[in-house]
Chains A and B, each alone.
Chain A
């Protein structure tokens, strides 16, 4: 399939307000629910008195620990079964009432008695309680090849620093919501999820019902970035419980403030990184120790040190992840999990090494290119990183990079910096169904969901191109467990997971159509070789014979009721190759040294991620990812008050995310990368923009004003006044 600048398939619905998001599902007689939240960071619920709440006009139901015992226990239900409070804002009950106002009033009238216990509210309070998790993401938490300590002792140059990254919250513009309704034993659940089938399994388990009796629908999802998954499920289940008990539809929507506590977070990290180099700039040693936060009720660690295992060639590498449990909200994957904070440390250190070695930062990276995956020993399925450096540098004009601190533009000191980005490739099993109508219109169906990344469009494109049906005649249905089971939306893996199942479905359909055409005496294709037919522009043609017939004519005559075909693909077996997407990111910043203000002026990104199905949507993904990275680099920091355990400034007024006025100019290069080993040669693209860019910005700031900032976000206070010890500590 050729790259096709097809416009976003569902765009007309979205620009006219007709795309229906889960909270908007219309229901008659609906109840509105709100959550009652614990004000303490650690303790037990001793009693919960709902008598006053029940007298509130419009009150319909309250569900808490006793009522939740109806749900079968699992990891997901732990927080609603046990009376232990793990963090401020943890819900202890759900109240449903006739209106949102009535529900809020009733929730305020619920009296809860707590037994408070001493809490660990910030990482620094428990530095003596560090432990090693079993896993960091999907990878082992520790790795070792060669002898890093020995090689560091012998290195010509050692760059050894501590790098710190802040807590970030995902904040999709659409808050989490559920609108649920029971009819007898059948549950219909409109909810904001990145996994309709995963959500259905949780519901079926909790309510001990056959999966088929729950229908989960997410036609449109107002962003996710990792947070519309398992942490939402307990509260969704409480709403479903209230709906079941009252026999009425129930709607629960999280507030923006609750997205700081109930939806997950990117954990803060403290990374101790040491790089050892030979005189010629060859990396001889990496030691990468990562400390991060997890909650007291569950365990999660990003693969933050993955960058040290995979990105560069190096014979001596030691990495380890350590966690501290705190009474704070639970961390989960967020946009480029692991690789965003990990590349900040690595790519900042590489920039510093280049400067100290007197080598160009791009050249230093090229010198240390890994020609295979040194962590697993496997070859790359493809690796376009060197091309990314070359093309990215050329388009940015990197060879004209001025000396450090040498360029000004009015009050602005100008600096250039660069960094590499990468993200591992993953794939899941999937099923997809296609239906060719009697009028040759094409319908593609799959129970995955579109977070805004373009799944509707590329799924339609894949099927349309294979069958030669114009996009104008294609429709796509997603986000419903009544459709064939599709992948969950995370880790840039939806498209790559769907490629093989769509290929199988379209191949089956083409074989059926070909047999139908060549065997039909009324078709101009009668008697032709079925293997010799070409599907294009709504027509089936013989490659050699000068004959053809339109799909519409063939279908009208032979299959007016339409044809269906399904395809399925199993998850990949043991991998014989390692696969990553890559990029090189180049940044120009302006820094006002008097005001400490930083402006990102332009970003050039060159990305290699296999065959690009839709360049327009891919560019949008990269630019969006880079903007998320600007937020991590310069804006976003979720702060906990150590005394109370509360999140400080839990609103968009205080948690700053990039806005229109923060935008630089973007230049995105899609680097050709042929991958003969992945299905369709396709890699995921979603995460690549959000890693690397933080270090590129920090490196550009250093180039502008000579300050090496080793923590994120980089704020005004880091750049004004005397160069603080924190900014330059070693």
Chain B
């Protein structure tokens, strides 16, 4: 810890090594979104109830607003910016577009990261996808199209 009470940490973010200093109570979300400027990760509720801030830590989905940045020293974090770009889309991003699985788009990065992690869990049917995605809220009501996009990529 430095003189001003900040904690130095080093993490791998979207494949690049990043060294940062954080306040002890900084969340991983504020580190990603504000300090590092990767605004694809959204803040919807800041209390772990909406899933808009979902990122991957060591390949598993977590809610970045409930994670203290300081406890992710040495970890590997993936945000939506590390998944694909408009000219190099991840298959799930491409499926989201074709199924119109988004409207306002604010919950979309969290939905996609959550779904990428869910696909590793090998959901067996649509009900399992719905259950496994229920931590990601969408107020526009894109749910059925989101599930259709995930099901397509899952081969269901």
Interface residues in chain A, defined as those with a beta carbon under 8 Å from any beta carbon in chain B: 7-8, 10-21, 23-24, 26, 100-101, 170-175, 220-223, 225, 253, 255-256, 451-454, 616-617, 619-621, 623-628, 651-653, 657-661, 663, 666
Contacts and interface: CB of A to CB of B under 8 A. Distances in A.
A359 B8 CA distance: 74
B58 interface: no
A616 B147 CA distance: 16
Interface residues of B, number: 60
Contacts of A171: 139
B141 to A, nearest CB: 3
Given A18-B81, A24-B39, A623-B145, 7 more contacts: A16-B40, A16-B81, A174-B42, A621-B103, A624-B140, A652-B45, A653-B47
28 contacts: A8-B97, A11-B96, A11-B100, A15-B80, A15-B89, A15-B105, A16-B84, A16-B86, A18-B85, A24-B33, A24-B39, A101-B23, A172-B106, A172-B139, A173-B42, A256-B45, A256-B46, A256-B49, A452-B102, A454-B103, A623-B141, A623-B145, A626-B141, A627-B141, A628-B139, A660-B130, A661-B131, A663-B144
Contact of A255 (B23, B46, B105, B106): B46
A499 B138 CA distance: 29
Contacts of B42: 21, 173-174, 222
A60 B22 CA distance: 21
B37 to A, nearest CB: 7
B156 interface: no
Interface in B84-118: 84-86, 89, 93, 96-98, 100, 102-109, 112
Q: Is the interface of A mostly helix, strand, loop or mixed?
A: loop
A264 to B, nearest CB: 15
Nearest to A57: B4
A685 to B, nearest CB: 13
A222 B30 CA distance: 19
Nearest to B38: A17
A15 B96 contact: yes
A663 B151 CA distance: 15
A666 B143 CA distance: 11
Q: Which of B40, B96, B139 has the most CB of A within 10 A?
A: B139
Given A173-B107, A620-B100, A16 B44 contact: no
Q: Which of A13, A21, A223, A625 has the most CB of B within 10 A?
A: A223
B86 to A, nearest CB: 4
Contacts of B47: 256, 651-653
B38 to A, nearest CB: 8
Nearest to A170: B139
B52 interface: yes
Contact of A7 (B97, B104, B109): B97
Contacts of A13: 86, 105
A174 B38 CA distance: 16
Nearest to A171: B139
A15 B81 CA distance: 9
Contacts of A10: 105
A160 B39 CA distance: 54
B137 interface: yes
B133 to A, nearest CB: 4
A551 B33 CA distance: 44
Closest 9 CB pairs of A and B: A17-B40, A452-B104, A624-B141, A222-B106, A14-B105, A627-B141, A452-B103, A17-B80, A652-B49
B1 interface: no
Nearest to B130: A660
